[in-house]
Amino acid sequence: MKINWHENPLKTSVVLDEIEKKIFAEKAKIRELKSAAQSAALHLRDKSEKLYDPDRARSYLQHALDENGLKERANDMLVELESGFHCGDCTCVATSCEKCFAEDILEINTLEGLSQHSAHKLDVLYGREDAVGIEEVLGALEVEIAEALGDAREEEHAEAVKVYEWLLRYKTEKLGFRIRPLFS
């Protein structure tokens, strides 16, 4: 497994070799089966419960037995790992993030310590183009921190400082640059 830390942390890519990809697909399959079994069990638990719905339980199980569907899902996740953006719960978007899901299967977390709000902020600052580099985003955050401080917008200031510190640490630890002082 090779992690290519990107200037945009939301775009860091994880590349697996052929054997690792096979293991990943098997692990992803086990997760899907387990989750389908849990959902089915929930809808079969007790006849008196509102959730009792054998048809629904059956559809979960049917879905889990769709071998091609499971393979496709694992392949989609591999594509996300290699070239996708983090987008979902991790960036305050109301959907699950495939990249996080895949990283979880690999037992890694390339966004460790970054809150959802901070990740959302990075998403906005970087945008979806490759043209925005880490220095540019750090610079934009410095301006924001100074402005929010001047206007006494405490919450905004604290959030911007948090993202700034995280990104600065990311830059040093993952990208290997020397730390520069705040407001240099």
Residue 11 found at the interface with Zn ion (CB under 5 A): no
Nearer to Zn ion, 28 or 57 (CB): 28
- Does 86 contact Zn ion by CB under 5 A? yes
Quick count: other Cβ atoms within 10 Å of Cβ 23?
A: 12
Task: Give whichever of 86 and 121 is closer to Zn ion, judged by the CB atom.
Answer: 86
| Separation between Cα atoms, residue 171 and residue 119, nearest integer Å | 15
- Decide: is 77 part of the binding site for Zn ion (CB under 5 A): no
**Which residue number, 86 or 171, has a Cβ lying nearer to Zn ion?**
86
7 versus 91: smaller Cβ distance to Zn ion: 91
Residue from 155, 161, 129 nearest 143 by CA? 161
Decide if 61 contacts 71 (C-beta within 8 A): no
Of 7, 14, 25, 99, the residue at the interface with Zn ion (CB under 5 A) is: 99
Q: Which listed residue (16, 36, 57, 90) binds Zn ion by CB under 5 A?
A: 90
What is the per-residue burial (b if ≥16 Cβ within 10 Å, else e) of 106-122?
A: beeebbeebeeebbbbb
Report the interface residues with Zn ion, using CB under 5 A: 86, 90, 97, 99-100
